[in-house]
Amino acid sequence: MPDRKVRVRFAPSPTGPLHIGGVRTALYNYLFAKKHDGDFILRIEDTDKNRYVPGAESYILETFDWCGLPFDEGIIEGGEYGPYRQSERKGVYEQYAVKLVEEGKAYYAFDTPEALEEMRKQQESSGSSLTGYNHQSRKEMRNSLTLPPEAVEQLLDEEAHYVIRIKIPEDEEIHVRDEIRQDLVFQSSTLDDKVIFKSDRLPTYHLANVVDDYLMKITHVIRGEEWLPSLPLHVLLYTFLGWEEDMPAFAHLPLILKPTGKGKLSKRDGEKMGFPVFPLEWMDPETGEVSSGYKQEGYFPEAFINLLVMLGWNPGTAQEIFSLDEMVEAFSLDRVGRSGARFDPDKARWFNHQYLAKKDDQELANEYARILRDKKIEAEPSYIEKVVGLIKERADFVRDFWDQSFFFFQAPQEYDQKIVKKRWKQDSPEILKDLFPILEKTAPWERDVLEKNVKAFIEYKELGMGRVMIPVRLCLVGSGMGPDLFTIMEMIGREGTLDRIKKGIHEIPGEN
């Protein structure tokens, strides 16, 4: 298969929102495809109609739209190997299942749920280590291996409910290769005769995925580690179908684990841990329950992708911040780790911080303007942009901007009591009153002029910066935080500055 064009697929089941593990799997597929100038395909695996959740499919589409990971082929893009929804491919699977039966590699099974239940109970009580429908138990069940041919014919004609099961060889070693874990060997005797074709005349995942990957000329299957146990079954299917020459390479990605405790990340974890598990906000159509998403939490898609790529893969260098192009360039399957990764919310914020600090002021100002508008605050775009430039490095998200910059838009409503207690001395009002005329006379009202005049005042009064500046900051900002004070003064203007100082002198209690 060496000179085939690389083709990979992301094959979600529309049973709900994707979580970040799914997005990461898709991302690795995308990176691998692009690295090798290959195709990235979306295939919807909706062969279980009972688990279908409305909205899940469009959620998947919106997610990749937001992340900026376009598919080359898929349910929207189309492509020459369509359709890309398994429910629309119903007709293609049965022939392969029947072919396997005809060749003695699979068989019809007519067992009722009760009979299967009975079989399980018996296996349990007998303490047998081999469980399931397997090379032993199949001899005692109702199937085309045990029934006389006429009876089988009759049952099939009657359209009795039946399934097709793969006939696992009794005692064989199945050698498989995983690109991440290298060579693995499974004993066929420990495998069971999985249903490959259901009584609703739809294939199970195992058959559908093998048939479609073959028909769609998939060269590499990159999926979650939860599929590793069924790899020997899939390999056997390729062999039975006579497709071993075209069998794709397999890579099973380590799982993303809960941040605390153990276990793989699941839907409920997010709310408890205080970080999203979903890329986009999701509302459960049945319960109406809303789960938060990275987008809505304020993550940039580039940051989201970046933090995901580092969860399980590393470039072997110290680089941590990657553009999508850089990721494509650097990515390789052999640098994917083998052990599960725990998600670290702190590091996630750090990634967003890195992107935020590098973002264009104007772009950020546009986003911030929306927040300000919601707060009924009017300001010139150029003013907002200037504010953003001053405070963006202090924030992790755009939504942090307000707390970092409200004083550029309105006088403080309260004063930080800790700072008041520590830095608002008995003579502070007096000092500010003395400073007042200096500020009144300062012209032009510009940062550097303000600095020069105020510093001259401080020197003349022999006071020291802290004695003067911190009380002023308290008046203008309400606390000890914020960027350069002279810049703040320039920005809020002479009137604003003087008003706030006056207000502070009256309202800040002089306990000390």
Partner RNA sequence: GGCCCGUUCGUCUAGCCAGGUCAGGACGCCAGGUUUUCAUCCUGGUAACAGGGGUUCGAAUCCCCUACGGGCUACCA
CB of 490 to RNA, least distance (A): 11
Choose, by CB under 7 A, the member of 54, 437, 466, 493 that binds RNA. 466
Residue 58 lies near RNA (rule: CB under 7 A): no
In the numeric block, which tokens belong to residue 307?
């933090």
Q: Which of 217, 267, 425, 455 is catalytic?
A: 267
Residues 75 to 104: which contact RNA by CB under 7 A?
A: none
What's the length of the chain? 512
Helix/strand/coil percentages in the chain, nearest 5: 50, 10, 40
CA distance 436 to 214: 81
CA distance 89 to 47: 10
Choose, by CB under 7 A, the member of 99, 105, 177, 198 that binds RNA. 198
In the numeric block, which tokens belong to residue 147?
């029934």
DSSP state of 255: P
Q: At what angle do helices 301-309 and 56-67 cross, to 10 degrees?
A: 90
Residue 480 lies near RNA (rule: CB under 7 A): yes
Residue 269 lies near RNA (rule: CB under 7 A): no
> Coil, strand, or helix at residue 92?
helix
267 carries an active-site annotation: yes
Residue 350 lies near RNA (rule: CB under 7 A): yes
In order of 76, 108, 132, 202, 347, the CA distances from 164 in angstroms are 32, 5, 15, 10, 48
Residue 140 lies near RNA (rule: CB under 7 A): no
Residue type, 436: F
Choose, by CB under 7 A, the member of 61, 98, 145, 228 that binds RNA. 228
Residue type, 216: M
Residue 205 lies near RNA (rule: CB under 7 A): yes
Which residue, 202 or 364, has its beta carbon nearer to RNA? 202
CB of 2 to RNA, least distance (A): 20
Count residues binding RNA (CB under 7 A).
Answer: 85
Q: With contact defined as beta carbons under 8 Å apart, do 63 and 42 qualify?
A: no
What sign has the CA pseudo-torsion 403, 407, 413, 418? positive
In the numeric block, which tokens belong to residue 404?
């970092």
Which residue, 291 or 487, has its beta carbon nearer to RNA? 487
Tell me how crowded residue 113 is: count the other CB atoms within 10 A of its CB: 8
CB of 54 to RNA, least distance (A): 16
DSSP state of 483: S
Rg for the chain (alpha carbons), in Å? 33
Residue 56 lies near RNA (rule: CB under 7 A): no
User: What are the two backbone dihedrals, phi and then psi, of residue 2, each rounded to the nearest 5 degrees?
Assistant: -70, -35
Residue 54 lies near RNA (rule: CB under 7 A): no
Residue 341 lies near RNA (rule: CB under 7 A): yes
CB of 216 to RNA, least distance (A): 15
Choose, by CB under 7 A, the member of 12, 21, 38, 248 that binds RNA. 12
Residue 421 lies near RNA (rule: CB under 7 A): no
Choose, by CB under 7 A, the member of 8, 9, 10, 11 that binds RNA. 11
Which residue, 260 or 362, has its beta carbon nearer to RNA? 260
Which residue, 291 or 404, has its beta carbon nearer to RNA? 404
- Binding marks (x or -) toward RNA, 358..387, rule CB under 7 A? ------------------------------
Residues 299 to 338: which contact RNA by CB under 7 A?
A: 310-312, 314, 316, 318, 320, 335, 337-338
Which residue, 129 or 287, has its beta carbon nearer to RNA? 129
Q: With contact defined as beta carbons under 8 Å apart, do 179 and 187 qualify?
A: no
Catalytic residues: 267
